[in-house]
Amino acid sequence: MHTKGRSRHFIYTDWILIENQFDPEQLQSKETVFTIGNGYLGTRGSFEEGYPHGSPATFIHGVYDDVPVVYTELVNCPDWLPLVVIVNGDRFRLDQGEILRYDRQLDLRYGLISRSLRWRSPSGNTIDISFERFASLADPHVLALRCHLTPVDFDGLIEVQASINGYPENQGFNHWEGLDQGKTDQGIWLQRRTRNSRIELAMAAKVRILGTEASLQVSTAPGYPTLSTTFLAKAEQTVTVEKLVTVFTSREIETPVPAAQEKLAHLPDYATLLKANEQAWHEVWQQSDILIEGDSTATFAVRYNLFQLLIAAPRHDDRVSIPAKTLSGFGYRGHIFWDTEIFMQPLFLFTQPAIARNLLSYRWHTLNGARRKAAHYGYRGAMFAWESADTGDEVTPRWAIGSDFYGEDVRIWCRDREIHINADIPYAIWNYWQATGDDDWMQKRGAEVILDAAIFWGSRVEFNPERQRYEIRGVIGADEYHEFVHNNVFTNRMAQWHLEKAIAVYDWLADNFPEQATELEQKLKLTSEERSHWQDIIAKILVLYDPSTELIEQIEGFFQLEDINLADYEPRDRSMQPILGVDQINKYQVIKQPDVLMLLYLMRESADFPYNEKALQTNWDYYAPRTDITYGSSLGPAVHAILASDLGKSTEAYELFMRALMVDLEENRGNTSDGIHGASAGGIWQAVIFGFGGIQLTENGPVANPHLPPGWTRLKFKLHWRGKWHDFDLHREQVAQDITRQLEFLQLSLSPNPHSLEAPNTPTPPAPPLPTPHSPLPNALTSKIQGFIFDLDGVLTDTAELHYLAWKKLADEEGIPFNREANDALRGVSRRASLMLILGDRPYSEAQIQEMMERKNRYYVELLQNMTAKDLLPGAIALLDELRQAGIKIGIGSASKNAQTVIERLGIADKVDAIADGYSVQQPKPAPDLFLYAAKQLGIEPGQSVVVEDAAAGVDAALAAGMWAVGLGPAERVGAAHIVLPSLEGIKWADLKAKLSNIARQKQ
């Protein structure tokens, strides 16, 4: 059986996600949903051919870099996907031509994405195109892509360009500097290095063509090495293109370039690599799969969430951990939170314990960063960062910049006050030790983390002589809606629990590994007085708890806050924080995510204080209605589902479970484009195993006390506990057989899966002739105008002031005189040419020139963030709308590498059919390349194009391209244009068309 996702055009089978309709509005969120990976890297589900406003990214574990002063982030690595197909001169792209059939699938069994389309080009040629790709789980340094091309109704030339894009960006910032690139007998390679962390990366790629005779040409455009071929395709004959890529960084090998080249040289073909990948995935699913019968949506969606964690799990590196958004998006900049230890780690602990060990070893490797943070705040021991990256130092941004330009920035206090993570990490370490019995790791690494983090609590607590109690004041608990509170029960009890376990670990270490105990005592300055202090804290720490009712007070004074009925605010589509305001929400009894209930959940398995059935019922009744479970935090629904299941609230438990389960597949929080909700995915595993499966851990192993949701007839999984596998196959009463498993076979009929067809040998077609100069005057009478190409700066908007301010700042920093008059000479000139004009004959190295160009661009991008639709020049929007109504295609031809950003900030992306920018061509204006590229993207001839420019170089480029030129500005600057106008204000398409026709007649 298959089910359809709500408004997402998804069909779910047991193992395969099927998208049968392309929706550009969901482009970026579905890039997240279709992420693939192999534990070394993750690649978002972007299209090989690209798409406007797409957000392609490949993230490699541990490859972080700094934006000085502002933040540290996981770096978007060079893009290995680009595969451009040009059909008889028309570039294949989904925003051009006509999509006659569309089908995209993610096969969870093998981490395989496939996409098949029937596409009719703007020129009327119909072709079947299918793509398939995977990141090899068998070899983390290998990536593979295959494309089948089958003309349907034509014979003609097809060109294929397979590239490595060395200019990836993290939302406007490029972390990479070029080192080298080149070609080998095998193909092409690229070498890059991060700007601040100095991590080197090498990628190498080769291409194989099957089904026709075709030779490969190499282009080594800077930062964009490409293998291309052109062949004569015949109707109904398939040509297959295989692209294999290898990648290494200096984190795992000293010489990444030779490593990538050597591995590429010895790679087998695509089919062999795919088979090895399938075998590796088979072994992983043998350990980690969960089978659900009776609920086809849950059957697939549970596996999907597990898949997203499995592809982000580091298998071969214990210096890294899983970011909150996994390796699937830019959200939280690749930082690691408590999400990993508390929500994600249990899946690996009970199915792949070696990965769980790696995740915890990351915290040991980053202890020095935690120690630096403790010292910074005046404490002892290790104070783990709320958000950490490669070193363990705190990387939580100090401020959040709001979308309202006139609003105030919001201080992020988590970095200073949310300290419960210091107990959450030891909690995960203790559970790992209990589940695995890994004494060796515990004595060598785990004990040091637990003990040093415990030393922090000894210096952080405060003794209140009036209460004769230890307090922890000025914190943020698990509930982040309350930002400066005292004696949060989650924090206090977890600290107490931590100290209890720290004493137990020390005693165990002293008894079994006395040398290690002595070594740690000296290293951590851990004295017997310190341990006695811990005992005193354990006995006297304040926990706000009424033993008569078992109601726990979340924070000091919580019961005195103003009560709230969340139902009064429904319906809504955002969290309560923006509704009430950051300051006001502190005054209400509204909770972002489980806090007291989270504590009860963590204490549930061992039945430690304050957990018992009465306490759970009492606190559920009080806190669940006050929790913003729909939009507060994605961490909440799965935990609530488990506790609701414990309380016998099966309907409510299932509803909460489904909310967590579909958070990304149905995008019910509206932010899937930022990346997968990793903690929610981990919570789903726990909800199935500990909630619905009712698993309890005993000395004799795990036992099940299941309470399956309505409709579930079977739940099957296995758990690894203390060196042994335990199989669970839980059934409800026998009911009609669920037919969902049959769909794995039936789904093959849902869409074609083309196989490689060997086409007859055909001679390699001659290379297309180089473009020749076009006529300087198009004939408007014989060549109907079909498209307009607008420059951005000075035409649709005026970013000249922003460019001036950015250049001025750079020039001032370099001590170079620069004023507005000098800036006028830069109009229409590329960034590099502009810089050379500013520098004059001053001597600078190429590296310095590159750095200055990037610095100026950074200043410019920062200024761009303030741009809105209000910055459109008068008449611009009216003319764009009129042209669209007349059926005229609209392109952008801008030398700026920030054109995409400007278009989005101006809010005109939906009015633009094609973009040619600074990344599109090598030769800047006045060369015609940029406008010729734009016309090609629009699918029109140069003589059918009108260029609107405000710079002499742009007008010259339009004329050289054989296009009509409309110049805006004084005649001395744009007088060579066919028509000169002061601006677009009041300009009508009918008037322009008449003027151009008159000019053409006069010249005949």
Helix (H, G, I), strand (E, B) or coil at 963: coil
* Residue 345 main-chain phi, psi, to 5 deg: -60, -35
- Give catalytic residues, as residue numbers: 480
* Residue 950 main-chain phi, psi, to 5 deg: -125, 5
List the one residue out of 349, 360, 516, 381 whose CA is nearest residue 446.
360
* Residue 431 main-chain phi, psi, to 5 deg: -65, -35
Running DSSP on this structure, what letter comes out for residue 775? P
Cα–Cα distance for residue pair 405/868, rounded to 1 Å: 10
Residues 695 and 702: beta-carbon distance below 8 Å? yes
List the one residue out of 636, 628, 686, 627 whose CA is nearest residue 656.
636
How, if at all, do strands 112-120 and 98-107 pair? antiparallel
Residues 212 and 156: beta-carbon distance below 8 Å? no
Residues 242 and 270: beta-carbon distance below 8 Å? yes
> Which residues, at least 6 apart from 798, have a Cβ–Cβ distance to it below 8 Å?
871, 873
CA dihedral 26, 303, 712, 705 (to 10 degrees): -130
Cα–Cα distance for residue pair 989/996, rounded to 1 Å: 11
Query: What order of strands is seen across the sheet that includes strand 156-163?
Result: 90-91, 83-87, 156-163, 224-233, 217-221
Neighbours of 729 (CB within 10 A): 11
> Which residues, at least 6 apart from 952, have a Cβ–Cβ distance to it below 8 Å?
827, 828, 926, 973, 974, 976
Residues facing residue 725 across a β-bridge: 720
Helix (H, G, I), strand (E, B) or coil at 338: helix
Residues facing residue 85 across a β-bridge: 160
Cα–Cα distance for residue pair 671/663, rounded to 1 Å: 9
* Residue 761 CA: distances (Å) to CA of 127, 232, 234, 755, 839: 20, 10, 11, 18, 56
Token pair in block for residue 914: 């094609």
Residues 311 and 665: beta-carbon distance below 8 Å? no
- Rounded to the nearest 10 degrees, the angle between the axes of helix 678-686 and helix 296-310 is 120
Token pair in block for residue 705: 């006390």
Cα–Cα distance for residue pair 287/137, rounded to 1 Å: 15
Residues 780 and 264: beta-carbon distance below 8 Å? no
* Residue 98 CA: distances (Å) to CA of 104, 269, 605: 17, 33, 57
How, if at all, do strands 156-163 and 176-183 pair? unpaired
